[in-house]
């Protein structure tokens, strides 16, 4: 009974984990919206304080000109002291708020805008009340508040309303009426100026709040486009037929990572998503130090599948080959031994890579500077038929396979050599058979051959010729492609066996292949990769 219930319990647990993962993504995205909005709010408020510190003393020139022309009775000394005090207030706030990260942004908002609003209101009241041209200062402050600090309108209404109402309140308390509401409301001129100035103030505040809300909505969409739950997308690293690879930043852990997003086109039955989830879980269980670690997966709000891998510093073996040319046999054997250990663990879990090539073998370094090779991309979410087909009628299948690959990721170089994934595909896979651990062995041996000699196992000018050679022509020993002594004779036999057309003639496992190569590998860690600067969040 316990055994019978175990699969059902496992399925329910997996289903619950998947649902929880999707819920967590949405929750994290909402939390990130709030954090980024608050961070933007804080930055804009600091910018407003900086502008206030710069502009406030400049408006002292306006006070001086007013005292010399149209308002000779203006208390210039008092106004200049007030301007100086506002400037000091802005400077002190800018210095203090930069370090006060825990102070709520709402408190920052009131500290930055409320005192200047009251000061400008007092200046307006002291220079004629509702008829004073100093009301332009309050208008400018309202415009600056709504433009510099975008956000949801409902959140900003209290501060903006206070700034608008500071004009009539200060005029009533400190203007000619002196707080006498009868004299205030009984004066037609006062009410006329009040209405004439309040209308544009309210209009500017309303338009500014709507514009602020629109800018905030655009920013939210930008966050959604550049965010994936707890991950912040930094830049695109590569793009292929199955999806896009991004460099990202894990917000909670504070470290870089790599995200591959897969767009499941025409997956109407949901089979691809189920297979993706199954293989992502299996791959995440791989613990070999020579396998890139997959530590998260899920589905975006747009229905795209994604999985998250560790970020590695270094370069792929294809990049190493392009940069340095053919590699020493001892280093190549050591790299391949690392890859064998990674693939051996995967094969014990019935995970077949299906796309081993130098581009998917990454040369990285450990914390103490030793070089290691890690196997990338275990073919997650790739539609591959697991069933085997009978061999035969090779000519007809050769044409179909060539046409399919010609339209995919294979291409011709300027010298007519076919380059791309088909260079490393096992013959039985090209013939329509299923890929198993022996197909991975062939692809790894073909990659080693390329790294040793600087050229693929087979050269061809057309796709048909490449496929025919892969399925029919025996490979040339790698020692014949190089100067004598560059490759030991014994290594020839090992690679030629792993490149056998018949899968049964290859090594029985990756472990056996590794044991055969190990005598030709130098001591692990004898070489180091170039030191690279660690990626940090800007």
Catalytic residue positions, numbered: 355
Q: How far apart are CA 467 and CA 404, in angstroms?
A: 12
Sign of the four-CA dihedral 346, 352, 355, 358: positive
Q: Distance (Å, rounded) from C-alpha 144 to C-alpha 141?
A: 5
Tokens of 40: 């933007």
Residues facing 236 on adjacent strands: 246
What CA–CA distances, in Å, run from 480 to 158, 422, 487? 82, 23, 9
The C-alpha atoms of residue 11 and residue 6 are separated, in whole angstroms, by: 9
CA quadruple 342, 347, 352, 355: dihedral sign = positive
Q: What are 301's two structure tokens?
A: 């709000």
Alpha-carbon gap, residue 348 to 426, rounded angstroms: 20
Give the residues across from 419 on adjacent strands.
Answer: 411
Q: Report the C-alpha dihedral over residues 400, 405, 408, 413, rounded to 10 degrees.
A: -140
Biggest CA-to-CA distance, the chain: 111
Which residues 6+ apart lie within 8 Å of 526 measured at CB? none
In angstroms, the CA 226 to CA 220 distance is: 10
Listed in sequence order, the residues at least 6 apart from 303 whose beta carbon sits closer than 8 Å to its beta carbon are 264
For every residue of 70-82, DSSP letters joined together read T-TTS-HHHHHHH
Length of the chain: 538
Q: How far apart are CA 262 and CA 305, in angstroms?
A: 5
Which among 154, 501, 122, 510 has a CA at the least distance from the CA of 341?
510
């Amino acid at each position: 009974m316990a055994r019978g219930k175990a699969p059902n319990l496992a399925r329910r647990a997996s289903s619950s984990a998947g649902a929880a993962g999707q819920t967590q993504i949405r929750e994290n995205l909402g939390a990130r919206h709030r954090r980024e909005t608050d961070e933007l709010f804080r930055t804009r408020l600091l910018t407003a304080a900086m502008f206030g510190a710069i502009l406030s003393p400049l408006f002292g020139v306006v006070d001086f000109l007013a005292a010399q022309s149209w308002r000779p009775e203006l208390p210039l000394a008092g106004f200049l002291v007030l301007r100086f005090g506002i400037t000091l207030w802005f400077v002190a706030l800018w210095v203090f708020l930069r370090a006060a990260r825990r102070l709520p942004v709402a408190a920052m908002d009131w500290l930055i805008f409320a005192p200047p609003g009251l000061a400008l209101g007092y200046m307006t009241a002291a220079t004629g009340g509702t008829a004073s041209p100093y009301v332009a200062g309050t208008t400018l402050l309202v415009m600056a508040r709504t433009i510099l600090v975008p956000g949801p309108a409902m959140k900003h209404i209290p501060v903006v309303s206070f700034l608008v109402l500071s004009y009539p309140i200060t005029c009533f308390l400190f203007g000619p009426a002196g707080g006498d509401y009868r004299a205030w409301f009984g004066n037609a001129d006062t009410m006329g100026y009040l209405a004439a100035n309040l209308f544009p103030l309210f209009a500017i505040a309303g338009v500014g709040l709507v514009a602020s809300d629109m800018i905030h909505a655009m920013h939210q969409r930008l966050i959604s486009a550049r965010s994936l739950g707890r991950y912040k997308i930094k830049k695109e690293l590569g793009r292929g037929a199955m999806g896009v690879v991004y460099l990202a930043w894990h917000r909670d852990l504070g470290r870089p990572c790599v995200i591959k997003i897969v767009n499941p086109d025409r997956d109407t039955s949901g089979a691809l998503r189920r297979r993706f989830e199954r293989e992502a879980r299996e791959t995440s269980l791989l613990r070999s130090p020579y396998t890139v670690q997959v530590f998260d997966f899920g589905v975006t709000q747009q229905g795209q599948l994604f999985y998250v891998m560790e970020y590695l510093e270094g370069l792929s073996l294809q990049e190493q080959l392009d940069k340095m040319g053919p590699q020493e046999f001892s280093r190549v054997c050591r790299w391949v031994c690392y890859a064998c250990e990674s693939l051996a663990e995967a094969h014990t879990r019935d995970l077949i890579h299906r796309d081993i090539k130098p581009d998917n073998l990454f040369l990285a370094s450990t914390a103490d500077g030793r070089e290691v090779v890690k196997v990338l991309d275990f073919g997650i979410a790739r539609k591959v038929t697991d069933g085997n087909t009978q061999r035969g009628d090779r000519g007809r299948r050769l044409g179909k396979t060539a046409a399919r690959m010609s339209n995919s990721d294979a291409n011709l170089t300027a010298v007519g050599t076919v380059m791309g994934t088909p260079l490393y595909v096992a013959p039985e896979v090209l013939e329509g058979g299923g890929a198993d651990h022996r197909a991975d062995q062939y692809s790894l041996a073909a990659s080693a051959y390329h790294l040793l000699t600087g050229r693929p196992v087979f050269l061809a000018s057309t796709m048909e010729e490449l496929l025919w050679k892969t399925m029919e022509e025996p490979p040339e020993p790698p020692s014949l492609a190089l100067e004598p002594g560059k490759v030991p004779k014994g290594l020839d036999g090992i690679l030629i066996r792993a490149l056998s057309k018949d899968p049964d003639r290859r090594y029985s496992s990756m472990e056996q292949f590794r044991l055969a190569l190990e005598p030709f590998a130098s001591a692990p860690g004898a070489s180091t990769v170039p030191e690279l600067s660690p990626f940090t969040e800007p």
